[in-house]
C-alpha cells in the first residue's frame, strides 16, 4: 500500500512540476505533453496496479513487470528521438544564423570601406 501511495505522489509531483515549468515558459508545451502523459500513466498504474497484469496477459507476457520496463524503455526512446530531432533542427538554425551574420558583417565592412573612401 505504501508503494502505491509513493508512486501516486511521484506522478502528481511530476505533473505539477511540468505544469509550473510550462507556466514559467521554461519548458515547451510540445515536450511537456510527453512528460505529462508519462506522469499520468505512473499515477494511474499506482492507483490500479492490476491494469499492468491484464495488459501483460493480453500481450502474452508472463512476468508483468517486464511490460513496465518495456513501456519505460519505449517512452525514453521516443523522448530521445524527439530530442535528437530538436537538436538537429536547432543545429541547422544556428548554422544558418552564423552564415547570415557573416554576410551582414561583410556588407557592413564594405559600407564602412566605401564611406572611408568618400
* Range 48-62 burial, b when 16+ CB lie within 10 A, else e: eeeebeeebeeeeee
In this prediction, residue 84 carries a pLDDT of 94
pLDDT in tens, the chain (118 residues): 788 889 889 989 989 998 898 888 888 888 788 888 888 988 898 899 899 999 999 999 999 889 989 988 998 999 899 889 999 999 999 999 999 999 999 999 999 988 888 6
Residue 99's closest CA among 89, 107, 88? 107
Phi, psi at 38, each rounded to 5°: -60, -40
Q: How far apart are CA 96 and CA 102, in angstroms?
A: 10
pTM exceeds 0.85 for this model: no
If you count DSSP H runs as helices and E runs as strands, how many of each does the chain have, helices first? Answer: 4, 0
Amino acid at each position: 500500500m505504501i508503494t502505491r501511495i509513493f508512486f501516486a505522489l511521484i506522478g502528481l509531483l511530476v505533473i505539477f512540476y511540468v505544469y509550473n515549468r510550462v507556466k514559467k515558459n521554461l519548458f515547451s508545451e510540445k515536450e511537456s505533453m510527453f512528460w505529462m502523459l508519462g506522469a499520468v500513466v505512473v499515477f494511474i498504474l499506482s492507483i490500479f496496479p492490476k491494469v499492468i497484469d491484464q495488459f501483460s496477459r493480453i500481450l502474452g507476457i508472463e512476468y508483468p513487470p517486464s511490460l513496465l520496463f518495456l513501456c519505460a524503455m519505449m517512452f525514453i526512446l521516443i523522448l530521445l528521438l524527439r530530442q535528437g530531432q530538436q537538436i538537429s533542427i536547432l543545429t541547422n538554425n544556428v548554422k544558418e544564423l552564423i552564415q547570415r551574420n557573416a554576410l551582414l558583417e561583410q556588407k557592413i565592412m564594405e559600407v564602412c570601406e566605401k564611406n572611408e573612401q568618400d
